[in-house]
Amino acid sequence: MAMNDPWHMLPEPEAMFCDVLERLCADKIAPRAAATDETAAFVHDQLAALGQAGMMGANLPEEYGGSDISAPGLLRAVSIVAGACGSTASALTAHYLATDSILIGGTDAQRAEWLLRAATGEALGAFALTEPTAGSDPADMRTRARRVDGGWHLKGTKCFISNGGVADFIVVYAVTDPDKGHRGISAFILPKGTPGLDAGPPERTMGLKGGHVFTLNLDCHLPEGALLGEEGRGFRTAMQVLDNGRIEVAAQCLGLAQAAMEAAIAYAKDRVIGGQALSDRQGIRWMIADMGVAYRQALLLAQDAARQRQAAHDHGTRFSLAASMAKLAASEAAGKIADTALQLHGGYGYTRDFPIERINRDLRIMRIYEGSSEIQRIIISGHLLA
């Protein structure tokens, strides 16, 4: 790789993995992105292709069938998928939230049962934390799990659960001891077809239309073995998972922003008005420069967060501040980049004949899910004021 390549520091095996992934996405995923958006069909085939490439387990260690690439390598890989199709990247990273939950909070037996199949794409996961009254504050959740003969009874409602209605397993977070606050939250693994697990139809979303989100109604009897790891450890597991997930949101933003920027640059070079290419006009060049600076700033923060994530894996440290900064910066920057790219396209950018319109819609949720921009600012300021 050239030294001006922002990913040049990846080790050669990971660079090769990403090169192969880039070709696969260009051949099998990007050509279907517009049709996926139009039909709102779930991205089953795209995820299957990623499974064959080793991407469904890229967040997992080799002992559980994963690719065992570094956190910076995973950042790059997720950005490649997102640049090809935002819906596919959304479903993929939701799967990572579920498998990370089992990897971090589960027992050895639970890891062996679920992660090996999840890594190949045979078993798709979902992560059920958000509720109608507990989005930004998960500790306020209402879903309850109480001990009964032979196991647990789980009752409540989860909303905006990516993959929830199509997943082979769902990691559900619920209150097991209301008197202990966040220390009274536990997690459970629900296989597909669990009696009392009812998924409504997919939500009619503004963007990411092929990465479906669902409301889940729960009234389930679960065996003792459904408890993920230890009782009362759910909140801690969820927070560690979300640290990972926020960097993966940053990766999605980087991929979509780069796609928007490249489309805008290509259009500016090709579009001729009054005998002069748009790219020769000073005002347009300034717009392109601003996009480039915003992208690079977000990239550097995301790469720093990914390096800290890797260090945390190696040494047991935390990286919550870096993850929140990366998520905030990348989601805000990507929104501005995509909007600038649409502006540069003029009226054509507002039509579905060009990908910019879809990219703008796909990006809008990035400032909301896995902790809104406002929540990230609360987290960041809390660290800085501590």
Angle of CA points 139, 145, 150, to nearest 5°: 155
The verdict on whether 231 is a catalytic residue reads: no
- What burial class does residue 48 get, using C-beta atoms within 10 Å of its C-beta: 0-12 exposed, 13-18 middle, 19+ buried? middle
SS3 197: strand
Instruction: Assess contact for 189 and 146: CB atoms under 8 A.
Output: no
Phi, psi of 34 (to 5 degrees): -65, -45
- What burial class does residue 118 get, using C-beta atoms within 10 Å of its C-beta: 0-12 exposed, 13-18 middle, 19+ buried? buried
Beta-carbon contacts of residue 210 (< 8 Å; ≥ 6 apart): 36, 37, 39, 40, 41, 42, 43, 46, 85, 87, 88, 91
Q: Report how far apart, in Å, the C-alpha atoms of 211 and of each of 43, 136, 186, 238 are.
A: 7, 21, 27, 21
Determine which one of 113, 131, 357, 370 is catalytic. 370
Q: Report the catalytic residues.
A: 370
